[in-house]
A and B are shown apart, each in its own frame.
Chain A
Amino acid sequence: MTVDTSKDLFFDKIVGFESDPKISDKLHSLEHKGALDIIDVKFEDAQRRRMRLKSRKGKYYYLTLSRDQKLSNGSVLSLEDNSAIVVRVADGPKIRIIPHDTSSALRLGYFCGNLHWKVGFEKKFIEIVLDGEAKNYLDRLENLKDFAKFECLEVDT
């Protein structure tokens, strides 16, 4: 592949966020004019600072973000008077584990950590952020059923 290194194809910073009211108004207006392009980024790739991206309009771009920046849903990579480019990151699927008692919760927390799973803690449950098929996680959790009381719920966000 021959890489086109034209400067305007490179994004080295996030210029704003869609959630900013000033920006969202402008994006809305550009969208009506057909001047808004979207780049879909997989959940597992959103942490990357350098990668090749393809927009919904079929254009290729190169991301070269500095280490203190990270893509998220609604990151704006370009905002001009007559065009804009916004990133969409789909929130990945999760498994919600609901422990029945404190002892089971402790056991589950240790278990998830031991397997290096990425989890979010809520008051009454833990949510595992899936990196791969749900079955891989559910198979491991099955092994824990003799030691902890809990139920699992697949959450497709």
Chain B
Amino acid sequence: MNVARVGIGGPVGSGKTALIERLLMVLKEKNVKPAVITNDLVTDEDAERIKGGGYLEEDKVLAVQAGACPHTVIREDPSLNISAANYLEEKFPDLDLILIESGGDNLASTFSLDLVDWWIFVIDVAGGDDIPRKNGPGVIKSDLLIINKTDLAPYVNVNLKKMIDEAIEVRSGKDVLELNCKTGLGVSEVADKICKNVLFR
């Protein structure tokens, strides 16, 4: 059991599933063999969306239903997700990477390093440019912070440069990336970070 596991967390609607859809296309080009685990409250919504998009064979997408606050199953007791990841590793021995998407949560959400090797936190400009200043553990402790939907900044009165600068400041030098899942801007950089940090390619 040593396939790389990467967590993707962030608030509801920040673009976690959209990032995974885009990532799957880019990872395929990089010859990386992934599987996906989604976490939803009491449905399989995100897993069905990824399956429906045809980005990956359907049996390489598993859904976990948290039944409660999403962080409970990625941090406090991640055993459901660990079981799902172990199942995928056993069923598909040639996997390189398992992406584990958290259900949409608050800024205090973090991943247990018993579950993942490295994790990403996704926020978006429409959530407000004050998010980095709020010092949420997700923003501060994640290995990579992504600011998504950058094209919307002018429409939601967000000073994107200031938001990015403040994010860099609170993260003590850890990576911050701009992303636009609509156009694909930044997706390749995210894939490169995963390849460098956990796949060592």
Chain A residues packing against B (C-beta within 8 Å) = 1, 3, 5, 10, 12, 47-52, 62, 64-68, 116, 131-132
Residue in A5, A52, A66, A116 whose CB lies within 8 Å of B197: A52
Q: Which residues of A contact B117 (CB under 8 A)?
A: 48-51
**B2, CB-defined interface residue at 8 Å:** yes
Residues B73-128 near A (CB distance < 8 A): 75-76, 82, 86, 108, 112-114, 117-118
Quote the shortest CB–CB distance from B46 to chain A (angstroms). Answer: 24
| B interface list, Cβ under 8 A from A | 1-2, 4, 75-76, 82, 86, 108, 112-114, 117-118, 140-141, 196-198, 200-201
- Contact check, A48 vs B113: say whether CB atoms are below 8 A apart: yes
The interface centre, meaning the residue of B1, B75, B200 with most chain A CB atoms within 10 A of its CB, is: B200
> Smallest distance from the beta carbon of B84 to chain A beta carbons, Å?
13
Residue among A5, A48, A52, A64 making CB contact with B2, cutoff 8 Å:
A64
- Beyond the given A47-B112, A48-B118, could you list 4 further A-B residue pairs with CB under 8 A, ordered by the A residue number? A50-B2, A51-B117, A67-B1, A131-B141
Q: How many Å from the CB of B127 to the closest CB on chain A?
A: 22
Given A47-B113, A48-B113, A116-B76, the answer on whether A3 and B201 have CB atoms closer than 8 Å is yes
CA–CA, A82 and B181, complex, Å: 52
Interface of B, secondary structure class, is loop
Decide yes or no: A12 and B2 within 8 Å by CB, A3-B201, A62-B200 being known contacts: yes
Interface contact A49-B75, CB-CB below 8 Å: no
Residue of B nearest to A3 (CB): B200
Residues of B within 8 A of A67 (CB): 1-2, 82, 86
Residues of B within 8 A of A131 (CB): 141
**A-B pair number, CB within 8 angstroms:** 45
Chain B residues whose C-beta falls within 8 Å of the C-beta of A3 in the assembled complex = 196, 200-201
Closest to B114 in A: A47
Nearest CB to that of B192 among chain A residues? A1
- From A51, A65, A131, name the one whose CB has the most chain B CB atoms within 10 angstroms: A51
Chain A CB count within 10 A is highest, among B2, B113, B140, B141, for: B2
Who on chain B is nearest to A1 by CB? B196
The smallest C-beta distance from B74 to any residue of chain A, in angstroms, reads 12
The answer for the CA separation of A65 and B117 in the assembled complex, in Å, is 10
Which chain B residues border A47 with CB–CB below 8 Å?
112-114
The smallest C-beta distance from B197 to any residue of chain A, in angstroms, reads 7
Least distance between B170 CB and chain A CB atoms (Å): 12
Docked CA distance A131–B117 (Å) = 17
What are some 17 contacts across the A-B interface (CB < 8 A)?
Answer: A5-B201, A10-B200, A47-B112, A49-B2, A49-B117, A50-B117, A50-B200, A51-B117, A62-B200, A66-B1, A67-B1, A67-B82, A67-B86, A68-B1, A116-B75, A116-B76, A116-B108
A47 to B78, CA, bound (A): 14
- Tell me the bound Cα distance from A47 to B75 in angstroms: 13
Whole-angstrom distance between the Cβ of B91 and the nearest chain A Cβ: 16
Cα–Cα distance between A64 and B141 once the two chains are bound (Å): 22
Looking at the assembled complex, report how far the CB atom of B167 sits from the nearest CB atom of chain A, in whole angstroms.
17
Inter-chain contacts of A68 with B (CB < 8 A): 1
